[in-house]
Amino acid sequence: MTCCFSFVQRVFFVLLALAATGASAQVVPVPENVVQLSAASTVEVPQDLLVIQLQATREGTDPARVQAELKAVLEPALAQARREAQPETLEVRTGTFSVLPRYGRDRRIASWVGTAELVLEGTDTARVSEAAGRVTGMVVVNAGFRLSRARRERAEREVQGQAIALFRARAGEIAKGFGFTGFSLREVSVNAQDMAPAPMARMLSKEANASAAESPLPVEAGKSAVTVNVSGSVQLR
């Protein structure tokens, strides 16, 4: 009996504890006088990083031969570009290298199409465009500008302070409008993004590329809009 009674007592006290926990959870006050708001600030920054994508394509019935022909074009082009490379001002990397089947109407492999890409990018736009003009055997398929990491981070720091100040000013105005004297932050989120027009893709013929050799590619930088959004909630007081 004593053993059974002690067990019943333990169960009783556990139930009491659970009931007390539930009761305490129910009395948690619902936040009052909390306002959700957001603010954003934008600055336009001149783009300083030029990216040029060059490409070579080959087609044939033997995939190994197609691959070998692409390597024969890419290797000297890469070696030429590497000789002019410098950190940040002109950097060189390879892009896509693929050999894929092309199917005929009978759904059988009719040929193999290979693609090799070389990408030149840097903040010295004249150097990058001149290096691209000297690459032979490949054509320019895409050229465009964007912000370098250093310039984007500087712009974000500048506009972030403006967005935060705008958020605080708006929160103060809202508090005053509702008859409160001030506010305190509850939670806040800060996000940055930069937007620029998508670069126009361009494909040059082999003849045009040959005539453009040793001459710089004509390019002109635009601007990117760097925006910082501040959103969150404040407690009016």
Say what the pLDDT of residue 15 is.
55
Q: Are 52 and 133 in contact (CB under 8 A)?
A: no
The separation between the first and the last C-alpha atoms of the chain, rounded to the nearest angstrom, is 60
- Supply angle C-alpha 37, 42, 43, rounded to 5: 160
Give Cα separations from 50 to 176, 221, 223 (angstroms). Answer: 48, 8, 12
Say what the pLDDT of residue 167 is.
96
Query: What is the C-alpha to C-alpha distance for residues 119 and 138, in angstroms, rounded to an integer?
Result: 11
Q: Give pLDDT tens digits for 199-218.
A: 444 444 444 444 444 556 77
Query: What is the C-alpha to C-alpha distance for residues 120 and 82, in angstroms, rounded to an integer?
Result: 10
Say what the pLDDT of residue 9 is.
55
* pTM summary value: 0.70
Query: What is the C-alpha to C-alpha distance for residues 237 and 133, in angstroms, rounded to an integer?
Result: 65
Query: What is the C-alpha to C-alpha distance for residues 185 and 3, in angstroms, rounded to an integer?
Result: 55
Contacts of 150-158 with CB under 8 Å at 24 or more apart are 151/45, 151/48, 151/49, 152/45, 152/194, 152/224, 152/226, 155/43, 155/45, 155/194, 155/226, 156/192, 156/226, 156/228, 158/43
Per CATH, which fold does 48-146+197-220 belong to?
A: Alpha-Beta Plaits (3.30.70)
Give average pLDDT by consecutive 10-residue segment, the chain, 237 residues. Answer: 52 55 57 92 94 96 96 96 92 96 93 97 93 92 93 94 96 95 93 68 42 62 93 94
Say what the pLDDT of residue 218 is.
76
Say what the pLDDT of residue 62 is.
96
